Amino acid sequence: MSIVRWIAATHSVSWVSVMAVKEFVLPDLGEGLTESEIVAWHIKEGDTVELNQVIADVETAKALVELPSPHAGTVTHLYVEAGTTVAVGERIVSFEVAGAEPSPAPAEAPPNLVGYGAVTESQDAPARRPRRESGPRLGSVPRLESSGTLPRRSTPPVRRLASQLGVDLQLLLGTGDGGIITRADVEAAASNPTPRAEVATVESAKANSAAAHSAAGSDSADSITVPVTGVRRLMAEAMVRSVTTAPQATVFLSVDVTRTVDLLAELRATPEFTNLRLTFLSAVVKAVCSALARHPEVNSRWNDATADITKFRHVTLGIAAATPRGLLVPVIPAADSLDLAAVATALDALVKTSRAGTTRPADLSGGTFTISNVGAFGVDAGTPIVNNGEAAILAVGAVARRPWEWEGQLALRHVATLSLSFDHRVLDGKQSSSFLSDVGLLLSNPARAFALA
């Protein structure tokens, strides 16, 4: 029973007296979070703080929260700079505290009480709990490993022993069932140390990557490393997920959109559109929704778990928007039920809220098809990456006047290139080309909408 008592003892309260330095580690501010970003410090070293005085703003995956000081005393050290993403359990600040006060239990991740769950933010997380693979799965893809090596399998007591004996599990080959590292392996390694050179290489490589990771932007003579947080981090993860799960292909179509350009100019002069920002993108939205009605298979998604396809009855249209924080894809719900004026209004509102950073999470989910207006950046075409949970994405290139065949002659016409990337599990080349050509047809001759509707 002594072991049990020991565990209990390490968690109990201890009393310290007179002047003591207290370190504060980043707690799990939500439920089941593994890291958070220190957005701003409200204190500096040497400051005197009161208990519960706000010392920092911290952004988690769930909320931006204020951090109240856990002690009254003097700030002795800030361990991380503002803008840094810190792992839960990492020390962030220390205080010099007068007199005796109960010191809190050692910071270990508190239990997840309610099943809210949280996204796994860190690449380290899968390494802690290696998944048991049960034979080949349909559509399985190699997992990305940050270190490039597979994590070694072991149990928590063995990992604890290894860390206490200073044994690096990555250097061991397990002799247990299925290659699992046992206590005996660790003890053997501890009594018969690995050749020094090998250890040093691993250690220094680790130190380098740790330094690059933890600094808020560590600069050297020829490079600058910047931390990736918030929206940009989510974008990176979403892109990896899309590219590693959905086989994608892209088809292109260049279209003479002069008639649409003329029609929009004509409409802008009418009373209904006087106060609206009627853009070319609005017309693309209308064309896409009409074409989706004819090609419902494009307005759909692939379900990994069940290996089947869900077709949506309505179009929840995502619009890729560049914001100061990174790429966001806010959606227009039931876009297929909107008329042109309503589309223009919705697009305008969406651009404004995403630039202002006030897009609500609810407006970022549930998309069934996405449009990326890369033409806004002056480029002709692109190979967009399909948004997770959708079957296709359309990139709209810049509308430019180009020499084009027009009624048997060469003329300067408004031309735009459309690029459609699609999830090849859901759609084939014929289906996606047919859809894209319908979108092109509508933009080259908007009057064709009569025939389609």
Partner 1 sequence: MSGLVQLISADGQRLPAPDVETWVADIDDERLLALYEDMVVVRRIDTEATALQRQGELALWPPLLGQEAAQIGSGRALRDDDFVFASYRENAVAYCRGISVTDLVRVWRGTTQSGWNPFTYNMATPQVIIGAQTLHATGYALGIQNRGTDAVAVAYFGDGATSEGDVNEAMVFAASYKAPVVFFCQNNQWAISEPVRLQSRTSIVDRALGFGIPGIQVDGNDVLAVMAVTRLALDRARRGEGPTFIEAVTYRMGPHTTADDPTRYREPAELAEWQVKDPITRLATYLRARGVLTDESSMAVDNTADQVAAELRAGCLGLADPEPLSLFEHVYAAPHSRLAEQRDRYLSYLQMFEPAGATR
Active site residues: 424
Contacts (CB under 8 A) with partner 1, residues 343-382: 360-362
112 vs 323, beta carbon nearer partner 1 = 112
In a 3-state reduction of DSSP, which class is residue 244? helix
357 vs 429, beta carbon nearer partner 1 = 357
> Out of 107, 127, 215, 263, which residue is the one contacting partner 1 (CB under 8 A)?
107
5 vs 313, beta carbon nearer partner 1 = 5
Q: Which residues pair with 20 in a beta bridge?
A: 97
Chain Cα centroid distance, residue 330:
14
> Out of 157, 166, 217, 366, which residue is the one contacting partner 1 (CB under 8 A)?
157
In degrees to the nearest 10, what's the CA dihedral of 65, 120, 322, 446? -130
Phi, psi of 114 (to 5 degrees): -115, 150
Give min distance, CB of 265 to partner 1, in A.
Answer: 37
Q: Does 99 bind partner 1 (CB under 8 A)?
A: no
Give min distance, CB of 213 to partner 1, in A.
Answer: 22
Both tokens of residue 169? 């599990």
Q: Does 120 bind partner 1 (CB under 8 A)?
A: no
56 vs 264, beta carbon nearer partner 1 = 56
Q: To the nearest 5 percent, what fractions of the chain are helix, strand and coil? A: 35, 25, 40
Q: Does 452 bind partner 1 (CB under 8 A)?
A: no
* Burial class of 347 by CB neighbour count within 10 A (0 to 12, 13 to 18, 19+): buried
Q: b or e along 188-203 (b: 16 or more beta carbons within 10 Å of the residue's beta carbon)?
A: ebeeeeeeeeeeeeee
Contacts (CB under 8 A) with partner 1, residues 58-97: 62-68, 70
Give min distance, CB of 160 to partner 1, in A.
Answer: 5
Phi, psi of 101 (to 5 degrees): -150, 155
> Out of 16, 20, 30, 263, which residue is the one contacting partner 1 (CB under 8 A)?
30
Query: H or E element: which one contains 162?
Result: helix 156-165
99 vs 247, beta carbon nearer partner 1 = 99
Q: Which residues pair with 217 in a beta bridge?
A: none
28 vs 256, beta carbon nearer partner 1 = 28
Report whether 150 contacts 172 (CB < 8 A). no
Q: b or e along 60-84 (b: 16 or more beta carbons within 10 Å of the residue's beta carbon)?
A: bbbeebebebbbbbbbbebbbeeeb
> Out of 17, 18, 44, 113, which residue is the one contacting partner 1 (CB under 8 A)?
113
The Cα 63–Cα 219 span in angstroms is: 30
Of the ranges 29-37, 194-202, 322-330, 369-377, which one interacts with partner 1 (CB under 8 A)? 29-37
> Out of 87, 161, 202, 341, which residue is the one contacting partner 1 (CB under 8 A)?
161
Q: Does 25 bind partner 1 (CB under 8 A)?
A: yes
Phi, psi of 450 (to 5 degrees): -55, -45
Q: Does 164 bind partner 1 (CB under 8 A)?
A: yes
Both tokens of residue 414? 């408004």
Q: Does 6 bind partner 1 (CB under 8 A)?
A: yes
Q: Does 111 bind partner 1 (CB under 8 A)?
A: yes
Q: What does the binding site for partner 1 look like in residue numbers (CB under 8 A)?
A: 2-8, 10-13, 24-31, 52, 62-68, 70, 102, 104-105, 107, 110-114, 116, 155, 157-158, 160-161, 164, 183, 360-362
